[in-house]
Structure 1
């Protein structure tokens, strides 16, 4: 099968090309080609996790994303965050999230608590 670890960017690009070719042939699970695809994908995922980590989103951006995703308005956040002016203050980074807000956002909108407790970046 001759599969090697991915150590360099060139190894990474070669693995991606091979994955692309294997996916086009649509190999069956349990076949040598299917096993090769599975192993290469695992190696690529490990390389990406180590060399291309994805940072956690900013708490305010996570709230805005969930609002957009769920079609929510500022008024919809009032029971979770507080009065309309408080919601705007949070969304405009003028007021930090409180622990109670974080708990309600997590419970009501399903935003991971670890995302909500992160430092807010300048918008």
Structure 2
């Protein structure tokens, strides 16, 4: 086996992915040298991807809708976090921005990452 080292280019990244794929198909025994290698390899891949292929945070409203879908929530279920049902619909329809208080409640009560909610929505449609 080759010595593990930082991934510095796409060729090394592809080789690391191929090796990780092998370990996925042939899972090493826990706490073995191969399991340790697999874990370190995944960390190197994750680090390279974070630097070269960053993933943008989701739009705040899309994050809320996704969480609603995951948890089987309806707009009325958001009332404790946002306010009256009309306010919930204004938020979901991008007619009103989220307040800091709403962001905090959505984060603490639904587990939506605050980083996602803090972003300003590009599509606020205030008439």
**Normalising to structure 1: TM-score of the pair?**
0.86
**1:46-88 C-alpha deviation (Å, 9 max, x unpaired):** 1011111122221111111111111111111123212222211
1:20 is aligned to 2:18: no
Alignment of 1:19-98 (within 5 A): 19-98=20-99
Match of 1:93, SS state, is coil
1:121 is aligned to 2:98: no
RMSD: 1.8
Residues 110, 4 of structure 1: CA spacing in aligned structure 2 closer, same or farther, 3 A cutoff?
closer
**1:13-64 C-alpha deviation (Å, 9 max, x unpaired):** 1111111112322212343322321221111111011111122221111111
Residue equivalent to 1:9: 10
State the number of aligned residues: 123
**Normalising to structure 2: TM-score of the pair?**
0.84
Unaligned runs of 5+ in 2: none
Cα distance in 2 for partners of 1:95, 1:56 equals 20
Cα distance in 1 for partners of 2:108, 2:41 equals 38
Cα distance in 2 for partners of 1:70, 1:29 equals 34
Residues 33, 63 of structure 1: CA spacing in aligned structure 2 closer, same or farther, 3 A cutoff?
same
Unaligned runs of 5+ in 1: none
